[in-house]
Amino acid sequence: MKIVINIIVLVFLGTSLSQAQTLDDYFKKAAENNPGLQAKYREFEAALQRVPQVSTLPDPSFSFGYFISPVETRVGPQRARFSLTQMFPWFGTLRAQGDAATLMAEAKYQAFLDARNRLYYQVAAAYYPLYELNQWIEIERENIEILESYKTIANKKFENGVGTMVDFLRVDIMLKDASTNLSILNDKEAPLLTWFNKLLNREENAWVTVEDSLLAQTLPDNFRKDSLLAKNPVLEELDLKIASSEASEEVAYKQGLPKLGVGLDYAIVGNRPEVELPDNGQDILMPMVSVSIPIFRSKYKAAVKEAQLMQESYSLQKKDFANTLTSNYEMAWFEIQQQQELIELYDQQIQESNQALNLLFTAYSNSGNEFEEVLRMQQQLLKYEKMKATAATQYQIALAKLNYLTAKTY
């Protein structure tokens, strides 16, 4: 029977571990299911469909005419006429239009990559508050258990004439506060779960596996700073938009050049019965060449100027974003260092508060005095434990932001 129970326990633990999911697993689910990210990818796919639209020749034109009153010619009356014409833009225009559309599609893909990285950051920013909440709930439950034991001790000392009724009432007041705080924390779980699950596009009350502890590792100076401006998708997107605008400038210039047309006219001619001619009733076939004359130059100059101004705009946007990226990196790095120092401080404060609490509680157990100090130290210990959990959460959120700014790949 013991062997069977052990096997069942092992199977249960194995199943639980196989179902446990890490933050990276949630990143993957969000990338697969988030509708906002899917919309960004559809924009990229739609932009790709623009390439064949602009890199092919315009449709040929075909016309047909029927002479109600036949037009007499030397070889006979014309009955009907067919015309087929194909226009050709200036040499290199289609290639330039295709290049501009391709580069813009690549820019859309970089925008998708940035949206994906931003989604990862949002998932992390929604995940770590769940850790903080779990820690606060556990800390508050332990606090209630300790206060319950203090309440029992205070009641016994009062019954034995060593303590006072005030000590008992103080603990009772603090227990009510702790119970209310725990109830509020439990109510907070639902909105945090909804926030997280909706980023993954799933049911708002779906179960989320949260880590029991977070490691605030010491990072080297200028951590991932070499990737800040080298691999950022937004900067890549703006570079591609600049290149696309340069191709658009070439397109605008070439559209201001003549367009060539090649055509063919075919006329159906009837017989002239009253005369004998070598070409009597012979249909007419006439090749044609046409040239457009772009004499209204203002629209072409405006198109060239528009492309040049867009290049300047994208260049300025790139410089502004690089500046913002650098300042955001420094703020995220400061936040990481700050939270790391706070975690170290709270570790020391928790250790010393525990020592002081043990001494105070021993003194109270012996004399029945200083119970108010015991309670005050207990609440101070509770505060430091909660602040440490918050600092660990903020550290991880700041690290996730730094990973987003430096375009970390997962």
| Higher per-residue confidence, 297 vs 17 | 297
Residue 397's identity, in one-letter code, is I
Model pLDDT for residues 278-287, shown as the tens digit of each residue: 667 677 888 9
Residues 6+ apart with CB under 8 A from 137: 182, 185, 186
| Higher per-residue confidence, 403 vs 372 | 403
Q: Which residues pair with 358 in a beta bridge?
A: none
Model pLDDT for residues 42-64, shown as the tens digit of each residue: 999 999 999 999 999 999 999 99
What CA–CA distance (Å, rounded) separates 13 from 18?
9
For strands 76-88 and 260-269, give the pairing: antiparallel
Task: Check residue 143 and give its pLDDT.
Answer: 94
* 5-14, 156-165, 204-213: range with lowest mean pLDDT: 5-14
Task: Check residue 388 and give its pLDDT.
Answer: 96
What CA–CA distance (Å, rounded) separates 90 from 122?
49
In terms of Cα–Cα distance, which of 135, 129, 134, 123 is closest to 22? 123
Model pLDDT for residues 131-181, shown as the tens digit of each residue: 999 999 999 999 999 999 988 888 888 877 777 888 889 899 999 999 999
Residues 6+ apart with CB under 8 A from 204: 190, 193, 194, 197, 198
Model pLDDT for residues 217-255, shown as the tens digit of each residue: 888 888 888 888 988 999 999 999 999 999 999 999 999
Q: The tokens of 337 are what?
A: 């260092």
Residues 6+ apart with CB under 8 A from 325: 228, 229, 232, 234, 235, 405
What CA–CA distance (Å, rounded) separates 35 from 31?
9
Question: Which one-letter DSSP state was computed for residue 257?
Answer: S
Q: What is the pTM of this model?
A: 0.86
Structural domains of the chain in order of their starting residue, each with its CATH number? 24-56+89-257+294-406 (1.20.1600.10)
What CA–CA distance (Å, rounded) separates 97 from 90?
12
Three-state DSSP string of the chain: CHHHHHHHHHHHHHHHHHHCCCHHHHHHHHHHHCHHHHHHHHHHHHHHCHHHHHCCCCCCEEEEEEEEEEEEECCEEEEEEEEEEEEECCCCHHHHHHHHHHHHHHHHHHHHHHHHHHHHHHHHHHHHHHHHHHHHHHHHHHHHHHHHHHHHHHHHHHHCCCCCHHHHHHHHHHHHHHHHHHHHHHHHHHHHHHHHHHHCCCCCCCCCCCCCCCCCCCCCCCCCHHHCCCCCHHHHHHHHHHHHHHHHHHHHHHHCCCCEEEEEEEEEECCCCCCCCCCCCCCEEEEEEEECCCCCCHHHHHHHHHHHHHHHHHHHHHHHHHHHHHHHHHHHHHHHHHHHHHHHHHHHHHHHHHHHHHHHHHHHHHHCCCHHHHHHHHHHHHHHHHHHHHHHHHHHHHHHHHHHHCCCCC
Task: Check residue 1 and give its pLDDT.
Answer: 37
**Degrees (nearest 5) of the Cα angle 211, 214, 219?**
145
Share of residues in the chain with pLDDT > 90 (%) = 69
**Residue appearing with tokens 């239009």:** 97
